[in-house]
Amino acid sequence: MKKTLKTRMKNRKALVALVSYGLFLLGWLGLALAGFIMGRVWPPRELDPAAATPVNLARLEDGGYLSEGVDPQLIFEGVDEKVRVLRLEAGFEHDPGELELFYTRREGQGFSPRQRVIGAPQDDGSVLFILPPGNVRALRLDPGTAGESHITIGAVTLNPRLPAAYYFVPTLGELLAFALLPALAVCLIYNIIELIDWAKNFMAKRRNKNAAAGNEA
pLDDT given for residue 177 in this prediction: 78
Q: Which residues pair with residue 140 across a beta bridge? A: 75, 102
Identify residue 186 by its one-letter amino acid code.
V
End-to-end CA distance of the chain: 33
Summarised one tens digit per residue, pLDDT across range 116-140 is 999 888 888 889 998 887 899 999 9
Distance CA 122, CA 119 (A): 9
Summarised one tens digit per residue, pLDDT across range 64-83 is 888 877 788 899 998 988 88
**What Å distances lie between residue 100 and 112, 115, 186, 207, CA to CA?**
12, 10, 36, 63
Query: What would the mean pLDDT of 1-7 be, rounded to a whole number?
Result: 53
- H or E element in which residue 55 lies: strand 53-55
pTM: 0.65
- Secondary structure (3-state) at 150: strand
Distance CA 162, CA 81 (A): 18
As assigned by CATH, the class of the 45-160 domain is mainly beta
The strand pair at 85-92 and 138-142 is best described as: unpaired
Domain parsing of the chain, residue ranges: 1-44+163-191, 45-160
